[in-house]
Structure 1
Amino acid sequence: MTAWEYATVPLIVHATKQILDQWGEDGWELVQVVPGPGGNGLVAYMKREKQA
């Protein structure tokens, strides 16, 4: 069975693509983007396969 690890990443509006590209290069897959706490900014939920 595949094991996953997860991360939440605050997104800066003017650098969203660069942030997601960097996490993607590190093996993370974007799962969802939701409004941040209090509706301020955005938060990305990421996952990647856990390394043994």
Structure 2
Amino acid sequence: MTKWEYATVPLLSSATKQILDTWGADGWELVQVVPGHPGAEGEKLVAYLKRPDFQ
């Protein structure tokens, strides 16, 4: 059975592609993007990512 590790990443609208490309290069797969916390300055979206946990 595959075990997974997860990460939540704030996405800045000015650097969304760069942020996701960086995490993707480390083996993370994008699962979902949701709105961030209201009033969070510069953080309008939050990405949820996963990758197999080989430990």
The alignment covers a number of residue pairs equal to 52
Q: What is the CA-CA distance between 1:38 and the residue it aligns to?
A: 1.7
Question: Secondary structure of 1:13's partner?
Answer: coil
Give the TM-score normalised by structure 2. 0.89
Query: Where in structure 1 do 4 or more consecutive aligned residues deviate above 6 Å?
Result: none
Partner of 1:30: 30
Query: Which residues of 2 match residues 1-52 of structure 1 at below 5 A?
Result: 1-38=1-38, 40=40, 41-52=44-55
Larger helix fraction of residues: 1
Given the superposition, is the C-alpha separation of residues 39 and 33 from structure 1 closer, same or farther in structure 2, using an over 3 Å criterion?
A: farther
Structure 1, unmatched stretches of 5+, are none
- Root-mean-square deviation (CA, aligned residues, Å) is 1.1
Amino acid at match of 2:38: G
- Superposition deviation, residue 49 in structure 1: 0.2
Q: Identical aligned pairs, as a percentage?
A: 71
Q: CA deviation at 1:21?
A: 0.1
Counterpart Cα distance in 2 of 1:39 and 1:51: 37
